[in-house]
Structure 1
Amino acid sequence: MKAPDDPGCVFCDIVRGEAEASVPYADDHVMVVMDIGAVTPGHLLVIPRVHAVGLEDLDEETGAHIWRVGHRMGRALRRSGLRCEGVNVFLADGEAALQEVFHFHLHVFPRFADDGFRIDANWGTRARALLDAEAAAVRSGLDLLPPGREPLHSDE
């Protein structure tokens, strides 16, 4: 795996061993580090060893590995002895999505009653015609992507 190449990136510094981190897991493709700005105790970040700003910069194989490791970390949190009544797996891709460090990373953190974490939105039910139009837009976006490793199946 290529060494991270962004000298101004704190996650690249961590991967290169030039910045401190508490690491519960690492392999040839990712490092899992404890988040210094944790939502709850046990908040983990799964970061690729290669620098990628967001989803557009990350190859799908590495992305799939990150999600597999995130899944495993969530299961580990449940068994860790830390307070964990639930788990959030959260990705912020881009500034509008609240990404703060522009090196792809997946948040995995324990949840419990009254932990203070909230996601607020204007939740509402969308009309079927709007949902159908949005589904068509997403399908057209899929057509613009290079083929993946495995075919996607749809309900068309």
Structure 2
Amino acid sequence: MEDCIFCKIVRNEIPSTTVYEDDYVKAFLDISQVTPGHTLLVPKVHVADIFEYDEELAAQVFSRIPLIAKAIKASDPKIIGMNICNNNGEIAYQSVFHSHVHFVPRYSKKDDFWMHWGDHTDQYTPEKLQKIADNIKAHLEV
């Protein structure tokens, strides 16, 4: 996609601070730096989100995650954890529609990042959970 900002970064038409690059992916510092070391990993081929991946692309992109995460963590002894996020669709907070993975190093509970996971345990019986699982299983394409 010609106007995609991440495609332009991959083609070096827009400057970025690259931390890793190979034939399939490019990892670079996010300009917003939610926390120091905040890095994005993007496939070099344009895909909008996870729903456009095939198995080969997924293997190439997601196999790089431990490599990048370990390098970020090793780069600063103050990093005590890391959020690794892949948002898909506007409702899921995706703002650039070229698939990407965020690596957000965590330094303390008081840094400028948080996530909320609602607990709805009391709303789901084992039967309701099984019905949901069966519906998902029926749509697996393996």
Query: Once the two structures are superposed, what CA deviation does each residue of 1:114-137 show, in whole Å capped at 9, x if it has no partner?
Result: 112111243221321121111111
Summarize the Cα distance change of 1:55–1:47 in structure 2 as closer, same or farther, 3 Å threshold.
Answer: same
How large is the RMSD of aligned CA atoms in angstroms? 1.3
Please say if 1:14 is aligned against 2:12: no
Provide, for residues 37-68 of structure 1, a one-character-per-residue CA deviation record: whole Å limited to 9, x for no partner. 12211011110000000112122221122222
TM-score normalised to structure 2 length: 0.91
Unmatched tracts of structure 1, length 5 or more: 1-5, 148-156
In structure 2, C-alpha distance between the alignment counterparts of 1:138 and 1:110, rounded to whole Å: 32
Distance 1:38 1:78 in 2: 15
Matches within 5 A, 1:37-48: 37-48=32-43
Q: Is the 8 A contact 1:41 1:82 kept in 2?
A: no
Q: Which residue of 2 aligns with 1:130?
A: 128
TM value normalised by structure 1: 0.83
Paired residues of 1:54 and 1:102 also in contact (CA < 8 A): yes
Q: Give aligned pairs, total.
A: 139
- Residue 25 of structure 1 pairs with residue 38 of structure 2: no
Structure 2 unmatched ranges of 5 or more? none
